Amino acid sequence: MTKFGRSDDLQGAEFNEVDLSGARFVESDLSRVVMRGVDIQAGDIDAPWLGTADASLIVNGVDVVPFIDAELNRRFPGRENRRATDPDGLRAAWAQVEQAWATARERAKAMPAGTVDASVDGEWSFAQTERHLTHATDTWFGRSVMELDDPYHPLGLKYLGTDDPGAKVPTYAEVLEARAGRVAMVRDFIAATTPTELDAPRKNPHNPEHPQTVRSCLHVIIEEEWEHLRFATRDLDTLESR
């Protein structure tokens, strides 16, 4: 199977009568791709950035983003409040995030032993997903909102991260303890925040020149929670079907 990586410049490439059936694109930039007369039936697209306010995806002349967003809101009650702007709305939105994850953990707990550590198609396991959310919270809350120099928990899993070979993999109980601590930090902050504090400027942790506010940082955290819950429950569905 031919493989292309970061060093392969395919920007602006044109494919004519090419057979790409069964091809897999992972962490790839396909924005502004134009497809004409293609057979994409049975395709499977996962594009988290379709949730942004200015996103669009045109299929046969129809922007399908509003339909996707509405369906995800139906499947994940509470997701529709992820961009709440005032303190009361954010408190309610965060409570819904916590409840949704509690329900997912109960589901995973009821499945066969080892489910939380099982990977589907090379994706993060349920436990690894929770570790990544610990890291995401440390990045957007600890580093950006609280402006801490070193906010990172040692069990957090970086973006695209994996454990070093031979490293001790934490137990799920340890993962839950770390995660609960970070969730409580966000909960306590939102419980006491004010509209003025939400408007306060902050730095984007990945691009300091890009302006953020406390509110927009919290929106990223909430968005991360819902997107990764979607990934995790998708993989639970697959494991359950097996």
Please write the tens of the pLDDT for every residue from 93-131: 999 999 999 999 999 999 999 999 999 998 999 999 999
Look at residue 214 and give its three-state secondary structure: helix
Rounded CA-CA distance 21/28 in Å is: 17
Please write the tens of the pLDDT for every residue from 190-230: 999 999 999 999 999 999 999 999 999 999 999 999 999 99
More confident residue, 29 or 164: 29
Rounded CA-CA distance 239/242 in Å is: 5
Look at residue 202 and give its three-state secondary structure: strand
Please write the tens of the pLDDT for every residue from 155-171: 999 987 777 777 788 99
Q: Helix 214-241 crosses helix 126-137 at what angle (to 10 degrees)?
A: 180
Task: Please give the pLDDT value at position 50.
Answer: 84
| Residue 90 pLDDT exceeds 90 | yes
Q: What confidence tier does 53 reach under pLDDT thresholds 50, 70, 90?
A: confident
Task: Please give the pLDDT value at position 110.
Answer: 97
Rounded CA-CA distance 85/68 in Å is: 23
